[in-house]
Each structure stands twice: as C-alpha cells, then as structure tokens.
Amino acid sequence: MFLGHFGLALAAKRAAPRASLGTTVFAAQFLDLLWPLLLLAGVERVRIVPGLMEASALDFEHYPVTHSLLMAAVWALLVAGIYYAVRRYRTGALVVGGLVLSHWLLDAPMHRPDLPLWPGSDVLVGGGLWHSLTATLFIEAGLLAAGAFVYTRTTRPLNRRGSWGLWAMIALLVVFFAGALFGPPPPDARTIAFSALALWLFVPWAAWIDRNRALVRTQHDQPAHGELARTGSIG
C-alpha cells in the first residue's frame, strides 16, 4: 500500500483537526519511514523478484521490526505517547496512534503472506491483492481520492500555497506510485532504501501545506472560546 496511507492521513484531519497534516502523514507512513533505515542497517531484508506480483516485485524476506503486527502496535503506542507528551492533545494522540497501526492493517490485504504477527512468528499475513493490478489501482486511487475529498472539505486554502502545495503533493505521490508500478523494477535493495528515504520529504511538505490552510468552520464543530480556526500547529 502506498497512496492509501496518504489518503488516510488526509482524512484524519477531520478526526483530529488540531493535528497537523505533517503529523498525520508521519504517523500513517511511520512504518515505511523506518523501513529504509533498517534496510540500510541490515536489520531487515528485501529481495527484488521481477514478475513476483502484478503490482509489486518486492519479496519482503525479513520484516519483523517495522511490519510485524506486534511491533506496529508498539510503535503506535510510542508515537502516540510522544505526541501526547509534546502536544497535550488527546484526540490527536489517539488518531496518531491509530494511524501508525492502520499502516499494518492497510498493508495486510495488499501483501503476499509476508507480514508476521510478531518478530519471529511463523504466522505470516497477507491478502495478496498486489497480484491484481486492477484491484491495486482501484484501492490505492480510491483511498487517496477519498482522503483528499475529506481534507479539502475540512480545510480551505488561506493562500495559493495552501491549494497548489496540496495538489502538487498529490500529483507527485501519484507520479511516485505510477513509477513504482509501471517503471522497471529497482536494481537492488539499496536503491529501494534510498528512494524510500525520499518519502521523509512529504512530512515537512504536508506540514507546510497545513500551515497554509485553515479549518472550515461548520455548525457541528465551532471552535470553543473564539479560538482561531487557523490550524496553526506545526506538530
């Protein structure tokens, strides 16, 4: 799963309006942000097998720290705990934790059975939807579009940066996704790790977009005590 994680991060703004989009992107992508670091450190392993599945050539040989269910839950608690300690925003912390865990839950239907329940577990989970290019395209594009729909109804641009920044980010995500899907398979695991490191850039980018947008006031959730509707927060 790739675009779908960003879709969920965008939609999460509705559930935790005071959390920055940078934070929700970080949380939803956390396991994949950690992964290239552990690949380069030699802790986790991936192999490229051209033609393995219609939508992915990656054979995730060893994935215990970033993509086991137990560790996903541990990371979720840790990231949510740190967020709460810094921001003191309970709803935000719950949403952040949920997003970290959601990464595993969204990956599970797409992967071949290669996601362990815990490090060293023999039980490997995966629904194998990557075997179908059509299903992959529908699910990924659908989740991103739904997330963008919710985000653009929850926030409005304060200036041109707030609108063009958002659409440029979405366009670049789609280009990344299409490149991975239709381009030649990467030559080796190091190349995968370095291109995955580039995903970190979307975190400050999303935070910057969010600073240039304001929450849309609805009758449902009027800010209390005349609090400014501007999202303001960077964290």
* Interaction site with Zn ion (CB under 5 A): 32, 107
89/104 with CB nearer Zn ion: 104
32/59 with CB nearer Zn ion: 32
149/194 with CB nearer Zn ion: 194
Residue 55 Cβ vs Zn ion, minimum distance, rounded to whole Å: 14
2/89 with CB nearer Zn ion: 2
The angle at the Cα of 49, spanning 190 to 55, to the nearest 5 degrees, equals: 100
17/116 with CB nearer Zn ion: 116
Residue 5 Cβ vs Zn ion, minimum distance, rounded to whole Å: 7
Residue 72 Cβ vs Zn ion, minimum distance, rounded to whole Å: 9
The DSSP symbol for 43 reads S
Q: How far apart are CA 12 and CA 19, in angstroms?
A: 9
Residue 32 Cβ vs Zn ion, minimum distance, rounded to whole Å: 4
Phi/psi at 56 (nearest 5 deg)? -160, 135
Residue 111 Cβ vs Zn ion, minimum distance, rounded to whole Å: 8
